[in-house]
Amino acid sequence: MLTKLQAKVFFLGGTAVFFGIFLVLSFDTHLKVPNQTNAANITPAVAAGKRIWEENNCMGCHTLFGEGAYYAPELTKTVEIRGKDWLKVFLKDPEAMFPGQRKMVKYNFTEEQIDNTIAFLDWCGKVDLNGFPAKPPLRDKMMAAAPQMAVSSGPAPLKKPVPAVFTTGTCIGCHQIQGQGGAAGALIGAPPLDDVFRRYDRAKLEAWIKDPPSIKKDTKMPKLYGLAVNDAQLNEIVDYLLSLNPETAAATPSAVAPPAAPAPAVQPK
Amino acid sequence: MKFQSQKIAYWFFASAMLLLVLQIVYGFIMGFARIGMDGLHEWIPFNTARAVHTNLLVVWLLLGFMGSAYFIIPEESDRELMWPKLAWVQLISFLIVGVVAVIGYHLNYWEGRKFLEIPRALDYLVVVNVLAFIANIGFTIWNGKRYTTTSIVLFFGLFTAALLYLPGMIDFDNQTLDSFYRWWVVHLWVEGVWELIMGALLCYLLIKLTGVDREVVEKWLYVIVGFTFLSGILGTGHHYYYIGAPKYWLMIGGIFSALEPLAFLGMAIYALAMAKKGGRRHPNKTALNWTLGSAIMSFVGAGFLGFAHTLPQVNMYTHGTLVTAMHGHMAFWGAYAMINLAMIAYALPILTGRKLWDNAASSYGFWLSNIGMVGMTGALAVAGITQVNLERRMGLDFLAVQTEIEIHFVGMILAACLFFLGICFYLYNFWRFGLPTDEAASSDVRAAEELPTVS
């Protein structure tokens, strides 16, 4: 039978051996992490962003690398999903982007602080996390099983370069247009905008952007008019969306950019 | 109570109970926020409530451990505490640091690193405080009339817990390294040295409550804490799967953390075997319930539920979801909250000289709180598994999924009410014991407490 001394030796010996192995592995990890995390890209802005991340306890609601609380979204890939412009507008007034939903503190960050925070999250998104977060394995199966979206009749929308206002106005943070953006929007039902001219006229499109709930009461679309979109930009957006209609474009060729413009390189998703 | 200086333990326990109540209040704030009732958002946003909830847990458990040490060490060493006044200073200053930190969290003053939110300036005060505690306990043992395995293991656990606080204070610009060393503190505490403390408290309680021979109980203590370290140290790897550390941690963390439940299983079997061997002759049935309950619930919560999502293939999808919160609740309750409540239930009659061992309130306290905790864990499990399937496996949007699982938090709040009711019964009993007395040292409580040894 085991004696007390043997039990003691098992405890002390086992602890020493395994703690030794742990130290050796930790040392190795410490040497390898800079390479795996692109530590060379940790600019002063990234480091400052990390401090902002800590000083406001972002981890108290969000997760990063899957670590934190579970009250708000995982942010490791947020720059890739939403885009920097969307995040810039969002960080100025988080609740404006998600009206009536779960709240986030409005931190009144300066422009520089916002840029640093985004720089930090951008760096995080490029760290090699051994495959985390995994691509949802069932998504493709679900998509295949779902009935195909009703295809609208009529000729296909034109292909034209997307103006910058769609990025700065944060539209492509949710909506896909000309094959760009839309990574986050597909999940919440934000439709692609290429053929939106079939559903809405100028007045309706303007109303959508100015006050989304006036068109659809329970919409998740934030009111970005006044926040990220001014009057001139609003006109530019609506003009562009309507210009994708091949019929009106053919009828009034002088009113819009020539339809013969070369098609932009569509990024396959 | 044999020594006057043991009385200080009462005040550690009482402070711990106060913080436990506050911890539960902040838990309710979070529960209600999750079902959309976030009216307190302006003053107590979720990240504040969350930091207060987890930090108060750590602080009250530490206060419980310290109180337990101040109660056990004089008796095990057969002498008065080295510096009773220092223990008082240490208690009060520890509470002040805790209160300042909690107030700071409401004013956006913190360090924002999960579980280690205490701002750096206060970190140093914690270190000084814990050094005073370790010195007080250490010199009492050193100058004691006898050295027991229980007191040595307890001291070793407390000492390494203090030592392991330090890696969490190193600054890094690299989030991966920051996280890597943060787990040295958090993981090696709760799945390492705290288990040592828990094992020592369990061992002490089993010796006292079952009357089984000390040599036998302590021998198995070594075996169990041996298994704890054998699996737990390299088990740290399960936090390193997906944070930017090398891939070999997937294998090492997977294998060794899969062994972690064995230590807890061993602990449960050990406690039940000793109780059976010794029979249940001790009049303080409540303390025995909590002791055995702790051994069993820690196996279920920390061992079994931890294993449920520790393998890398599973953890890829559960990492960063409510599944972690599910495991966390029962693990901390079973392993650390219950052992503290067991220690308090055991020590109170001895400290105060009142024989309120068994009564309806203490039974309700035990059963309601445990049933409530099982219910809370169940609600979190359903919410967590649904979240994993909808968000991580099907790819639905985070907020859309949160709306789907809101209803489970109604269930969680109901279970939490039951849990809180149980804690109220426990506290009612605590209050009925009254304050510790000098006469308790000579009262017949101690006589009733001495059991003939079973070998």
Domain boundaries, chain A: 36-125, 155-251
- Residue pair B221/B203 in contact (Cβ under 8 Å)? The answer is yes
Average pLDDT over residues B149-178: 91
Residue B168 has pLDDT above 90, yes or no: no
Q: How large a percentage of chain B has pLDDT more than 90?
A: 80
Reported as half-sphere exposure (CB side, CA atoms, 13 A), residue B186 has a value of 20
By CA distance, what is A12's nearest residue in B?
Answer: B226
Q: Does domain A36-125 match CATH 2.170.190.11?
A: no
What's the pLDDT at B27?
97
Indicate the CATH number of A155-251 among 3.40.50.300, 1.10.760.10, 2.30.110.10, 3.40.50.410: 1.10.760.10
**What is the domain range of residue B58?**
13-118
Q: pLDDT-based confidence at B113, cuts 50/70/90?
A: confident
Which has more pLDDT, B126 or A147? B126
| A61 shares contact with chain B (CB less than 8 Å) | yes
What's the pLDDT at B63?
96
Which ranges of B193-247 would DSSP assign to H, the alpha helix? 194-210, 214-235
A10 and B226 within 8 Å at the Cβ level: the answer is yes
Q: Which residues on B lie below 8 Å from A60 (Cβ)?
A: 45-48, 50-51, 112, 117
Residue B236 has pLDDT above 50, yes or no: yes
What's the pLDDT at A146?
63
Which has more pLDDT, A246 or B379? B379
Question: Is there a shared CATH topology between the A36-125 domain and the A155-251 domain?
Answer: yes
Average pLDDT over residues B291-301: 95
Instruction: Find out whether the peptide bond into A44 is cis, omega within 30 degrees of 0.
Output: no
Residue B443 has pLDDT above 70, yes or no: no
Residue B282, domain member (yes or no): no
Q: B310 to chain A nearest CA, in Å?
A: 14
Average pLDDT over residues A34-50: 96
Which one of A73, A129, A137 has the shortest CB-CB distance to B244?
A129
Residue B65, domain member (yes or no): yes
Average pLDDT over residues B393-422: 95
Ranking A188-197, B201-210, B231-240, B425-434 by mean pLDDT, the lowest is A188-197
Average pLDDT over residues B45-71: 96
| Burial class of residue B265, CB neighbours in 10 A (0-12, 13-18, 19+) | middle
By CA distance, what is B393's nearest residue in A?
Answer: A136
Q: B68 to chain A nearest CA, in Å?
A: 23
Q: How large a percentage of chain B has pLDDT more than 70?
A: 96
Ranking A224-228, A265-269, B123-127, B429-433 by mean pLDDT, the lowest is A265-269
Please give the distance of CA B54 from its chain centroid, rounded to a whole number. 11
Structure tokens at B88: 């008082």
Domain total of chain B: 1
What mean pLDDT, rounded, does chain A reach?
85
Q: Would the CA dihedral through B269, B273, B276, B280 be positive or negative?
A: negative
Residue B345, domain member (yes or no): no
**Mutation for A interface: B242, B315, B385, B404, most A CBs within 10 A:** B242
B316 and A134 within 8 Å at the Cβ level: the answer is yes
How many Cβ contacts (< 8 angstroms) between chains A and B? 217
Beta bridge partners of A68: A63
Residue B298, domain member (yes or no): no
Average pLDDT over residues A18-46: 96
Q: pLDDT-based confidence at A250, cuts 50/70/90?
A: low
Residue B3, domain member (yes or no): no
B247 and A18 within 8 Å at the Cβ level: the answer is no
The DSSP symbol for A154 reads S
Chain A segment 27-46 residues within 8 A of B by beta carbon are: 28-30, 32-34, 36-37, 39, 42, 46
A138 and B223 within 8 Å at the Cβ level: the answer is no
Q: Which residues on A lie below 8 Å from B180 (Cβ)?
A: 26, 29-30, 33
Residue A258 has pLDDT above 70, yes or no: no
Q: pLDDT-based confidence at B204, cuts 50/70/90?
A: very high
B47 and A69 within 8 Å at the Cβ level: the answer is yes
- Closest among B195, B85, B60, B65 to B136, alpha carbons compared: B85
In SS3 terms, B24-80 reads as: HHHHHHHHHHHCCCCCCCCCCCHHHHHHHHHHHHHHHHHHHHHHHHHHHHHHHHCCC
Which one of A42, A67, A131 has the shortest CB-CB distance to B114?
A67
**Mutation for A interface: B52, B243, B250, B329, most A CBs within 10 A:** B243
Which one of A37, A59, A187 has the shortest CB-CB distance to B114?
A59
Distance (Å, whole) CA A117 – CA A45:
8
ipTM over 0.90: yes
- Residue pair B333/B302 in contact (Cβ under 8 Å)? The answer is no
Average pLDDT over residues B405-414: 97
A72 and B398 within 8 Å at the Cβ level: the answer is yes
A71 and B243 within 8 Å at the Cβ level: the answer is no
Q: pLDDT-based confidence at A260, cuts 50/70/90?
A: very low
Q: Angle CA(A40)–CA(A46)–CA(A47) in degrees, nearest 5? A: 90
pLDDT tens for each residue of B178-202: 999 999 999 999 888 999 999 999 9
Residue B24, domain member (yes or no): yes
What mean pLDDT, rounded, does chain B reach?
92
Which has more pLDDT, B315 or A160? B315
- Which of A191-205, B1-15, B99-113, B407-421 has the highest average model confidence (pLDDT)? B407-421
Residue B68, domain member (yes or no): yes
By CA distance, what is B241's nearest residue in A?
Answer: A130
Q: Which residues on B lie below 8 Å from A19 (Cβ)?
A: 229, 233
B114 and A29 within 8 Å at the Cβ level: the answer is no
Residue B399, domain member (yes or no): no
What's the pLDDT at B338?
97
By CA distance, what is B235's nearest residue in A?
Answer: A22
Count of all residues that appear for chain B in the document: 455
Distance (Å, whole) CA B105 – CA B110:
6
* A20: Cβ contacts below 8 Å, ≥ 6 apart: none
A4 and B244 within 8 Å at the Cβ level: the answer is no
Q: A102 to chain B nearest CA, in Å?
A: 7
Q: pLDDT-based confidence at A259, cuts 50/70/90?
A: very low
